[in-house]
Structure 1
Amino acid sequence: MRLWFERLIEQFKFVEDETTARRVLHELTRQAGFDQFAYARVQDNTLSVISDYHQAWQERYFKKGYLAVDPVMVGIRHRRQAFAWSNKPAGRTGRQTPESRARQLFFEEADGFGIRSGVSIPVAAGFGNTAVLTLASHDSDYAERWVVDPVIAASAVGHICARLDTTAMTTRPIRPVKLSTNELTCLRWATEGKSLKVIAILENTTYANVRYFLRNAKRELNAQTLTQAGKIATQLRLL
């Protein structure tokens, strides 16, 4: 698979947008014998994705909160090297824990979309972020047949990450975000550099109300500052 990763690096030298990235990854994924791919950049509060997974699966994945049980996303919390995974039961099958049951349900649904095994390569993406490339197969045994050189694999995914770092990718919240109109309005004014006192005048409300709306917005977006809240809301295209 070393030659495949070298080809990936070469072709990504010419990638400048999400559309080209998706096409290159789609073609190379099939050349490797896999069926689907997903590239994700994981931040504290958001997940930016380029993938050719079925759209219905992508929507279901986020709606049902599968990010918390997906073996790939769980796996990258503890490792920084390529690993294979499969929907085949591992070890003895005894009494199920809530975690193992959730994982089983995840794989049962993924199976319906042809996702049964895969290879995932996570790399550190700077500032606490992680990037991961996953190649998925409809064959439960396919991924384990591949021998992946961890050095060239990490180099290739790092190259993808660098090329796409300034690209506007489809971004989703790690968890559902609900902001009221008042919260969004005050946050938008704050991103324009307006003080709380000025926002209160512009919106014909009280200083206390503005502070309340912005505090709620920060909490909902899991942000420590208004600057961070504005950045997250912008990434999610809420503003």
Structure 2
Amino acid sequence: MDGEFRSLVDMLEAAQDEFTIKAAMKRFAQSCGYERFAYLQKEGAQIKTSNTYPKPWERIYLSADYSNIDPVVTQAKRKGDIFCWTADDWKPRGSSELRRFRDASIEHGIRCGVTIPVEGSYGTSMMLTFASSERQVDLPVAFDSKRAVQLVMMIHYRLKMVGGKTTVNPKQALSPREMDCLIWAAKGKSTLTTANLVGIAFRTVQHHLDKARGKLGAESVPQLVAIAKDRGLLPPS
């Protein structure tokens, strides 16, 4: 499990598009005994998702606003920590809408799974789910809460980064390490502090920031941060 997780971290950091992110996540899900994965970000009524669920189910889910009655989403809001679930436990209690949701979920191969909820900034909620068509899949022992949250945040920022790159010239696209240093600089961290946080040398941090300044045409780090924010390259603070 440790090797698979380490490999996933490396693949996510190197990913340059959503297709590669999905491929890495699908491989990791299967190594854990699950068939599919789904990342969902909810901010008010707005939903963003990246998943390997069947396309017909994705269309049904989004068009019917099923996130409002999805028991997994409801439980994620209540628990705030990694949890396992199974559609067999969803009792409709006379609600035809919930019954239709449960039956359609099972029909499309989403019967049991594990979900990792994380609260983001400005009321944003994020959740990562690994799902299977089986009645039950045992959660790998090594998949602890700390590592799970780390994974959700990596996917969140990686998807945001590859999405942001579509707005700039390919020659201006920042490398994963340049983005790491830029994000910490945007948070007000010094070069020395960033070096300690990222686990690289002081001069290496400065090198990455200099490269980023050159790519975005900034004369200083504050200007670099301002340009990056203007282009939507940075996550909300």
TM-score bucket of the superposed structures, by smaller chain: 0.5 to 0.7
The amino acid that maps onto 1:157 is: V
Structure 1 Cα separation of the partners of residues 17 and 105 of structure 2: 28
* Structure 1 residues 157 and 103: CA distance shift in structure 2, 3 A: same
Greater C-alpha radius of gyration:
1
1:14 — aligned with what? 14
One-letter amino acid matched to 1:34: Y
Aligned residue among 145, 154, 157 for 1:159: 154
Matched-pair contact (CA < 8 Å) for 1:125–1:158: no
For structure 2, list consecutive stretches of 5 or more residues without a partner in the other structure: 165-237
Q: Secondary structure at the match of 1:49?
A: strand
For residues 153 and 126 of structure 2, the distance between their equivalents in structure 1, rounded to whole angstroms, comes to: 8
Alignment of 1:87-166 (within 5 A): 87-89=87-89, 96=93, 98=95, 102-142=97-137, 144-147=138-141, 148-166=143-161
Is residue 86–residue 111 contact of structure 2 (8 Å, CA) maintained in 1?
Answer: yes
Contact 1:16 1:164 (8 Å CA) reproduced: no
Q: Secondary structure at the match of 1:166?
A: helix
Deviation at 1:165, TM superposition (A): 2.3
For each residue in 1:163-222, what CA deviation from the matched residue of structure 2 results, as whole angstroms up to 9, or x when unmatched? 2223439xxxxxxxxxxxxxxxxxxxxxxxxxxxxxxxxxxxxxxxxxxxxxxxxxxxxx
Give me the whole-angstrom Cα distance separating, in 2, the residues matched to 1:152 and 1:51: 20
Counting only pairs closer than 5 Å after superposition, residues 130-209 of structure 1 correspond to structure 2 as 130-142=125-137, 144-147=138-141, 148-168=143-163
In 1, are the aligned partners of 2:44 and 2:124 still within 8 Å (CA)? yes
Q: CA 1:84–1:4 in 2, change beyond 3 Å: closer, same or farther?
A: farther
Q: State how 1:227-238 maps to structure 2 within 5 Å.
A: none
| AA matched with 2:107 | G
The alpha carbon displacement at 1:124 in A equals 2.2
TM-score (norm 1): 0.61
Q: Give yes or no for contact 1:82–1:119 (8 Å, CA) kept in 2.
A: yes
**Would you tell me which structure has more helix in proportion to its own residues?**
2
CA 104–5 in structure 1, closer or farther in 2 if over 3 Å, else same: farther
Partner residue in 2 for 1:23: 23
Cα shift at 1:107: 1.6
CA contact (8 A) 2:32 2:139 kept: no
Higher relative contact order (CA 8 A, sep 6+): 1
Aligned twin of 1:52:
52
Q: Contact 2:76–2:117 (CA<8 Å) still a contact in 1?
A: yes
Give CA-to-partner distance per residue, 1:28-52, whole Å, 9 cap, x none.
2222221111111221231111111
Structure 1: stretches of 5+ with no match in the other structure: 170-239
Return the alpha-carbon distance in structure 2 between the equivalents of residues 88 and 4 of structure 1. Answer: 30
Change (3 A) 1:4 1:120: farther
**Closer, same or farther: CA 40–115 of 1 in aligned 2, 3 Å:** same
- For 1:140, what is the secondary structure of its paired residue? coil
Distance in 1 of aligned mates of 2:4 and 2:113: 16
Question: 1:61 — aligned with what?
Answer: 61
* Residues 80 and 165 of structure 1: CA distance in aligned 2, closer, same or farther (over 3 Å): farther
Percent identity for Structure 1 against Structure 2 = 25
* Residue matched to 1:32: 32
Closer, same or farther: CA 89–122 of 1 in aligned 2, 3 Å:
closer
Listed one character per residue, the Cα deviations across residues 61-101 of structure 1 (whole Å, up to 9, x for unaligned) are 122221111122212222321111101237xx7x9254xx5
- Please name the residue that 2:41 is paired with: 41
